[in-house]
Structure 1
Amino acid sequence: MKIFKRILAGVAVVIVLVAIAGFFFLNNLRKGALPDYDKNLYLPVLEDEVTVLRDSFAIPHIRAKSEADLYRAVGFTMAQDRLWQMDLLRRITQGRLSEILGKDQLETDLLLRALRFREKSEKVLAQTSPEILKNLEAFCEGVNYYMEKFPLPPEFKVLGYHPDPWEPLHSINLIGYMSWDLTSGWGTEMVSHQVKNEVGKELAADLIPDMENHPTAIFPDFTGTEIPTAETFLSASMELEKLGGSIFRGSNNWAVSGKKSQTGKPLLANDMHLGLMSPGIWYQMHHVAEGSVNVTGLVLPGQPFVICGHNDSIAWGMTNVAVDDLDFYAETLNEDSTKYLLDGQWKDLVIQEELIHTKEGEIINETLKFTHRGPIVNRFKKANETALSIHWLGNEMSDEIRTVYLLNRANNWNDFRDAAKTFKSVSQNIVYADVAGNIGLQCSAGVPLREGTGIEIYPGDTSLYDWQGLVPFEELPYEFNPERGYVSSANNKTAPDDYPHYISHWYAMPNRINRIREMLEAKEKLGIADFQEMHVDVKSKKAEALTPVFLAALKGENEYTSAEKAALEKLENWDYEMAKESPAAAVFEVLYRKVAENIIEDELSEDLFGAVKGQRILIENMMLNALPDKNSAWIDDKNTPETETYSDIVNRAFSQTVEELSGRLGDDPDNWTWGKIHTLTLSHPLGVVEMLDNALGLNRGPFEVPGSFHTVGPFSYSYNNLYNVNHGASHRHIFDASDWDASKTVIPTGTSGIPASDFYLDQTEMYLNNEYHADPFSAGKVEEAARFKMKLQPVDD
């Protein structure tokens, strides 16, 4: 995820290790915080006894008599397993990383403070209902009791600090964290404008998505007015500095009704694609408060409610809508940069002094400036010429805490939609299934109402381009029980072209959704085994479309080396499966990138070329938009006297592909298997320090993996960090509405965040082998699966 990338880059130079003297000290450091899951404990914050059963993966199933006691136990249990991760996420939302990682995190802290997570959270907290607030406070009581009375995980000892008490505001701050991590436009829009400044409007237009190349809509039946074409997106004309890259994100979800299910009841699948790291972003839990709530699924460490999962009646899962939810404004400032011009009048900037405390003991005084829209962000984007402010959806009013609290208790479609209407800042397409046999899909998103398209950088000296609110929930697309018998989404285009509101142009390519729907329609009836195969499917629709195009360009009178002939033959005989054992997959993946690089590199400055590679969606759109036109001005290499054709570029790229693979894997193309270069390492934030990694066992890998960013089973990487996987399915869930106990799940890591635990990354092997474990829900199955039993008692017996 974006923020973790910043942490990983800086942490190596800030950690000062004390000498690890002797076996006993190291053993205590590693194991001192390991909980005994079978030991009954005294928790004076409780009102009644609470039972915590854990299965063979140490996933907690918590049963309490009241909601308050349930969430006290949730907080305590979560702290047992994920306390340092909780504190790290909290520090991210507070902009307090410098305190524990050092002053190299100064710019990250300032950016995070400029996003005003706290101010938004205070507004949410002020309107939070009494029952939700009571449960948030109960959660804090459980977390804080653990911090006061039990040993802390090793990261606290290594970094030399003690966590502050947990407050409800810290849980609500995580809304802002998730919203920022999933935002669109922060990188892509500025890069596309800089490209326009270097190469001109006509060429730059090829980097902007053309919706004609995105024919597959999530909600195909919504209608309205025409969406503007790509030509209108390039109206701004300003120089911008190089920006950092954003990390790819995606997700899949789908559900089938009883008419397409082997059970006669709905099946629902979800896999959200986020950063792959250790500890993983999700914590699996099952919550039961007698007569009140019975829900299981994924919890974000630091807040108490199930984000995605199922209860007795309904199941739900999420994918990112990719809303264009951030706009840039070119501001006009006065001479001393204390005022900005708006509608002919000078307005005072809000000037906010920030004190950054660092691990080195320094206190650094910095200044942040804000217009009525949001922060001035030049220092974070290295843009020096024109003052740029942003308006970001995360600062708009929403209440995701209310949504997930009510989803945990929803009984039907109406309850579900009522809950979903406040899920705005973290815009999601939420898939639905229930025990009554219904399926549905709801776009729950904050879609700005604005002039223009949202992609251009707006003039800030007029209020004409200010947001005029958000699209009402009632006008957002949804489907309920469609005749086809299924619903599905994969970050693709939300609605057809005549939908009346502009949502985005930064959608994922339609490769994953087209493959998902192809598999959904391949059989009349589908079962859990079919869904399992779909989750890990690595047949590439992108490769299926482009491989013949590349082969046609390679069919000339060329003199190929023996290695090139062998590589060509592998492409010719390929089934388009991105299997880790496949040499053809490696040839295609490298060839696609090499063709793109040969097309764009000669047109761009070195810095901008690197920035474009960091925004891979721009490259994907350029390839999709420019390749059908074999005469595109992008194709000719302007650094040579000849005029290159499309075929020339592909042949050059093919020769470079063979050279790269030979250099990496040797001269025999049979050994060029995709998995040998495409690997996943599950890295801990402190694992960049080799001594720590060796002493505590923080990182695991590298593991050979299949797939790519364009397959349903995704293992994604950045073009600026080739083939090192940084994103993928952060979980896999299959929910069976005919029998919740038949549901299946797996995460890439494990329950515990303590590296010495048997449950730290204990699900990794299953995940990599495309296996699942049971997800018991009924009281009988939970008891049957229990391997550990703990009673939390309000009085010391």
Structure 2
Amino acid sequence: MKTLKRVLLGVLGFLLLALFVGFLVLQNIKTSALPDYNESLKLERLREPVSLFRDEHAIPHIYAENEADLYRAVGFAMAQDRLWQMDLLRRVTQGRLSEILGKDQLETDLMMRAIRIQEKSEKILATSSPEIITALEAYSDGINQYIRKYPLPPEFKVLQYKPEPWEPVHCINLIGYMSWDLSMGWGTEYFLHQLRAEVSDEKIAELIPDLKNHKTAIYPGFGNIEIEASETLLSATENLTELGAEIFNGSNNWAVAGKKSQTGMPLLANDMHLGLFAPGIWYQMHQVVEGKINVTGLVVPGQPFVICGHNDSIAWGMTNVMVDDLDFYAEKLNEDSTKYWFDGAWHDLRIKKEIIKTKEGEEFEEVLKFTHRGPIVNRFKKEKETPLSIRWLGNEMSNEIRTVFRLNRANNWSDFRDAVSTFKSVSQNVVYADVKGNIGLQCSAGVPIRAGSGIQIYPGDSSKYDWQGLVSFEELPYEFNPERGYVSSANNKTVTDDYPYYISYWFATPSRIDRIREMLEAKEKLGIDDFKAIQGDWKSKTAEQMTIVFIESLKKQSGFNETEQAAFNKLKAWDYNLTRESQAASIFEILYLKSMENLVKDELSPELFEGMLGQKVLLENLMINFLAEGQSQWADNVMTEQTESFDDIVALSFNETVEELTATLGNNVDDWSWGKIHSFTLAHPLGVVDILNKALKLNRGPFEVPGSFHTVCPYSYSYKNLYETVHGASHRHIFSMANWDDSETIIPTGTSGIPASNFYLDQTEMYLNNQYHPDLFTKQNVENKARFKMQLKPE
């Protein structure tokens, strides 16, 4: 008995020891990379000491004596907080995810290699100015010193690899990836090609935006508007989405002049709409070399310059222009697929072998083929019949790294326009304001000059449909100090119909821009609180338009049961605000979707119907075009002998809406709150592994949210995954030209990418409640509010 007791005690002791050791190992993995923000450290190649203040959210404010020291410290500080995210994004641009995540990423890697991001980055680097090269080299050195000397974040330990040295070209790669991520033609235009196998051209035409039905343009005329400030003042891939590597989706920006501002000086607002994941895409940072540069705002982890923000003279923010920047070409290849027919002769394809290494230790040799336009992409589109190549704006020469470098130093409208003139591959409407009282908006875009509509698959056998260059910067629209006293954009139609160049069909519907302008015009003068209310607005112009249509149609129906009648009453009494508590918001969102689904699904195979759910722009414009014309060939159900009307579609959709909400939330309509079915989770790329998620606390949520993709405050979801929010405002910024210290900001996550950090998602609750924190700028304010202070000293 005593022997058994000793054995049991020994086993128990061993288990306790194993648990204790396991706990220590786990704690080490979780916390070993947490930096001490108060620790003074030495860096090689610093010429002078650098002061690094961090505020209550650990946002770094870096003060250096020269620019090389500044960017070396920027690289070091960013590596402290976001090193694994930086390495992940770098691997995306290089097509090297398989090496750390396994062979499931092979197709993603091959696609990213096909678009040749680093090839273009190397060309840009080779032609960059010495001052930019010096900055990128110093920044890379700061990162590499951290990699060599300090503990790595937990993801490296979990995945069992070490990051390679950072190089200047990797910084430029991240700008290139932004260009790919906001490309408009890759998904929609190929889907239209697939659709032609099942649907007539007449029905397809109803899906394509009729821009005459998009009444609101960003720039009211392509004759550029410019007035001096003195006059007015006195009188901008599914695997990658899951990895949190998606960049742009939509955005809002606007600025008001002094005559519409409570301060008498301009106010500027920007919120770019991106994927909601952890860590977030933006890193908040303030960089200072006194007398040379003083800039604060958003930095993409992996490159050193502020993308959107303000310096001591100007502020700027961006929204996507939605340029149609990619075209498909049907190619004719010879028998062994080594040549393509072009302008009456066979030309050699450029054939490139790619070796893709995987985490499993396997190597795959794959072949990529290119015409003079770009890669053959059949493999990635699963197209088996017609050889297809693409021409993509991202492979055209541009220099976005120069743009952001110059923006950080710009002093006036002239400097600003010179800076954004090379912002071509990442096409943006860039809003502007300055301390002299000017406001402006500049379309900075690469707009291809091409024949045809821009959305068909072009014949590739001649040069007729090749791009003839890009629209010159001087011909792109802008506004400077317009008489109305404000400028604004929200991914809507860029210009009126008489603009001489085709920009795109794929603009956002006018819902957000119309609501923004409605609120900008509602008051004679606006303040920071008004701007907050606009950024946090959940009232929908789409709902305002469509609910009236639905109600009129449903009034013709009879025989509602008790639940249906209660739901109809909620809809009739609604004020079009998609709050978390609103039951009508739940009813409208599902009814709106089901009406679009029931218009199209009887004509489509299950595969194409599933594809259509991924093309929100086509479904929304089908509805817009239908309302404008009053009829649609899609309304009749081809599966029945009767001829159905839109009223029949609405009646069926309403019945399905009530059934779905009853099944999900019960038959008490008062329980159908929008927030109960509309939420988001801040998910880490490794959070898909349950044991890792629980051990390291990678994911956070779900959080109930208001709004929708058609509200100014956008909590957007995919029609393929109802109603899980996947996009939203990736930041909110409000800048005051009267006093920079009055500016405010928020991001949905936090400064740190290390899940054990107190600053991993410390801004999330404020973000959900539409709250902001000060965007500290003057040195005295920064020092007074500093929670941490680090000195980086020369070694």
Q: TM-score, normalised by structure 2?
A: 0.94
Instruction: Kindly state the Cα deviation for residue 247 of structure 1 after the two structures are TM-superposed.
Output: 9.9
Q: Distance in 2 between matches of 1:745 and 1:763?
A: 10
Q: Distance in 2 between matches of 1:248 and 1:68?
A: 30
Q: Check the 8 A contact 1:70/1:288 in 2, yes or no.
A: yes
Instruction: Kindly state the Cα deviation for residue 221 of structure 1 after the two structures are TM-superposed.
Output: 2.0
- Partner residue of 2:788? 788
- Partner residue of 2:133? 133
Q: Write out per-residue CA displacement over residues 632-657 of structure 1, whole angstroms, 9 at most, x where no aligned residue.
A: 22011111222212111101100000
Q: Write out per-residue CA displacement over residues 77-106 of structure 1, whole angstroms, 9 at most, x where no aligned residue.
A: 000000000000000000000000001100
- Partner residue of 2:151? 151
Instruction: Kindly state the Cα deviation for residue 615 of structure 1 after the two structures are TM-superposed.
Output: 1.2
Q: Write out per-residue CA displacement over residues 548-593 of structure 1, whole angstroms, 9 at most, x where no aligned residue.
A: 1011110124100111000000010000001111000000000000
What letter matches 1:579 in structure 2?
T
Q: Distance in 1 between matches of 2:323 and 2:649?
A: 35
What letter matches 2:347 in structure 1?
K
Q: Check the 8 A contact 1:196/1:203 in 2, yes or no.
A: no
Q: Distance in 2 between matches of 1:436 and 1:779?
A: 22
- Partner residue of 2:546? 546
Q: Check the 8 A contact 2:212/2:497 in 1, yes or no.
A: no
Secondary structure, aligned partner of 1:414: helix
Q: Distance in 2 between matches of 1:645 and 1:349?
A: 52
Q: Check the 8 A contact 1:328/1:389 in 2, yes or no.
A: yes
Secondary structure, aligned partner of 1:470: coil
Q: Write out per-residue CA displacement over residues 618-672 of structure 1, whole angstroms, 9 at most, x where no aligned residue.
A: 1001111124445422011111222212111101100000000011111101010
Q: Distance in 2 between matches of 1:248 and 1:579?
A: 25
Q: Distance in 1 between matches of 2:56 and 2:204?
A: 54
Q: Write out per-residue CA displacement over residues 322-342 of structure 1, whole angstroms, 9 at most, x where no aligned residue.
A: 000000000000001000000
Instruction: Kindly state the Cα deviation for residue 265 of structure 1 after the two structures are TM-superposed.
Output: 0.2
Q: Check the 8 A contact 1:40/1:793 in 2, yes or no.
A: yes
Kindly tell me: are residues 248 and 403 of structure 1, through their superposed partners in 2, closer, same or farther at Cα, counting changes over 3 Å? closer
Secondary structure, aligned partner of 2:433: strand
Secondary structure, aligned partner of 1:100: helix
Q: Check the 8 A contact 2:428/2:445 in 1, yes or no.
A: yes
* Correspondence 1:739 to 2:739: yes
- Partner residue of 1:326? 326
What letter matches 1:158 in structure 2?
V
Q: Distance in 1 between matches of 2:74 and 2:163?
A: 18
Structure 2 gaps, min length 5: 1-17, 225-240
Q: Distance in 1 between matches of 2:633 and 2:444?
A: 41
What letter matches 1:738 in structure 2?
A
Moved more, 771-780 or 623-632: 623-632
Q: Write out per-residue CA displacement over residues 589-617 of structure 1, whole angstroms, 9 at most, x where no aligned residue.
A: 00000111111000111101111111111
Q: Write out per-residue CA displacement over residues 465-492 of structure 1, whole angstroms, 9 at most, x where no aligned residue.
A: 1111100000000000000000000000
Q: Write out per-residue CA displacement over residues 502-551 of structure 1, whole angstroms, 9 at most, x where no aligned residue.
A: 11110000000000000000000000000000001010000000101011
- Partner residue of 2:25? 25
Secondary structure, aligned partner of 1:83: helix
Q: Write out per-residue CA displacement over residues 364-387 of structure 1, whole angstroms, 9 at most, x where no aligned residue.
A: 000000000000000000011000
- Partner residue of 1:217? 217
Secondary structure, aligned partner of 1:197: coil
What letter matches 1:696 in structure 2?
L
- Partner residue of 1:677? 677
What letter matches 1:254 in structure 2?
W
Counterparts of 1:636-785 in structure 2 under 5 Å? 636-785=636-785
Aligned length: 759
Q: Distance in 2 between matches of 1:193 and 1:44?
A: 56
Kindly tell me: are residues 19 and 142 of structure 1, through their superposed partners in 2, closer, same or farther at Cα, counting changes over 3 Å? farther
Q: Check the 8 A contact 2:223/2:477 in 1, yes or no.
A: no
Counterparts of 1:492-531 in structure 2 under 5 Å? 492-531=492-531
Instruction: Kindly state the Cα deviation for residue 249 of structure 1 after the two structures are TM-superposed.
Output: 1.7
Moved more, 709-718 or 448-457: 448-457
* Correspondence 1:413 to 2:413: yes
What letter matches 2:481 in structure 1?
N
Q: Distance in 2 between matches of 1:169 and 1:497?
A: 40
Moved more, 367-376 or 215-224: 215-224
Q: Distance in 2 between matches of 1:596 and 1:118?
A: 41
What letter matches 2:544 in structure 1?
E
Q: Write out per-residue CA displacement over residues 726-761 of structure 1, whole angstroms, 9 at most, x where no aligned residue.
A: 101000000000000000000000000000000001
- Partner residue of 2:453? 453
Q: Distance in 2 between matches of 1:285 and 1:595?
A: 45
- Partner residue of 1:280? 280
Secondary structure, aligned partner of 2:784: helix
* Correspondence 1:252 to 2:252: yes
What letter matches 1:466 in structure 2?
D
Q: Distance in 1 between matches of 2:248 and 2:210?
A: 19
Q: Distance in 1 between matches of 2:221 and 2:347?
A: 45
Q: Write out per-residue CA displacement over residues 688-733 of structure 1, whole angstroms, 9 at most, x where no aligned residue.
A: 0000000000000000000000000000010001111110100000
Q: Write out per-residue CA displacement over residues 237-277 of structure 1, whole angstroms, 9 at most, x where no aligned residue.
A: xxxxxxx9999821000000000000000000000001110
What letter matches 1:341 in structure 2?
W
Q: Check the 8 A contact 1:248/1:727 in 2, yes or no.
A: no
Over the matched positions of the two proteins, sequence identity in percent amounts to 68
- Partner residue of 2:124? 124
Instruction: Kindly state the Cα deviation for residue 21 of structure 1 after the two structures are TM-superposed.
Output: 5.8
Instruction: Kindly state the Cα deviation for residue 460 of structure 1 after the two structures are TM-superposed.
Output: 0.3
Q: Distance in 2 between matches of 1:278 and 1:267?
A: 30
- Partner residue of 2:391? 391
Q: Distance in 1 between matches of 2:664 and 2:176?
A: 42
Instruction: Kindly state the Cα deviation for residue 22 of structure 1 after the two structures are TM-superposed.
Output: 1.6
Instruction: Kindly state the Cα deviation for residue 194 of structure 1 after the two structures are TM-superposed.
Output: 2.1
What letter matches 1:73 in structure 2?
A
Structure 1 gaps, min length 5: 1-17, 225-243
What letter matches 1:786 in structure 2?
A
Secondary structure, aligned partner of 1:306: coil
Q: Distance in 2 between matches of 1:355 and 1:191?
A: 30
Q: Distance in 1 between matches of 2:111 and 2:686?
A: 22
Counterparts of 1:177-576 in structure 2 under 5 Å? 177-222=177-222, 249-576=249-576
Q: Distance in 2 between matches of 1:419 and 1:249?
A: 23
Q: Write out per-residue CA displacement over residues 16-43 of structure 1, whole angstroms, 9 at most, x where no aligned residue.
A: xx99962100100100100000000011
Q: Distance in 2 between matches of 1:20 and 1:314?
A: 56
Secondary structure, aligned partner of 2:552: helix
What letter matches 1:373 in structure 2?
R
Q: Check the 8 A contact 2:331/2:341 in 1, yes or no.
A: yes
Q: Check the 8 A contact 1:192/1:207 in 2, yes or no.
A: no
Secondary structure, aligned partner of 2:186: coil
What letter matches 1:365 in structure 2?
E
Q: Check the 8 A contact 1:431/1:487 in 2, yes or no.
A: yes
Q: Check the 8 A contact 1:78/1:143 in 2, yes or no.
A: yes
- Partner residue of 1:14? none
* Correspondence 1:635 to 2:635: yes
Q: TM-score, normalised by structure 1?
A: 0.94
**Which of the two has higher C-alpha Rg?**
2
Secondary structure, aligned partner of 1:686: helix
Q: Check the 8 A contact 2:281/2:301 in 1, yes or no.
A: yes
Q: Check the 8 A contact 2:178/2:248 in 1, yes or no.
A: no
Q: Distance in 1 between matches of 2:247 and 2:526?
A: 34
Q: Distance in 1 between matches of 2:586 and 2:195?
A: 29
Q: Distance in 2 between matches of 1:254 and 1:435?
A: 16
Secondary structure, aligned partner of 1:206: helix
- Partner residue of 1:74? 74
Secondary structure, aligned partner of 1:520: helix
Q: Distance in 1 between matches of 2:263 and 2:716?
A: 34
Kindly tell me: are residues 248 and 636 of structure 1, through their superposed partners in 2, closer, same or farther at Cα, counting changes over 3 Å? farther
What letter matches 2:666 in structure 1?
G
Q: Distance in 2 between matches of 1:509 and 1:165?
A: 44
Q: Distance in 1 between matches of 2:27 and 2:717?
A: 36
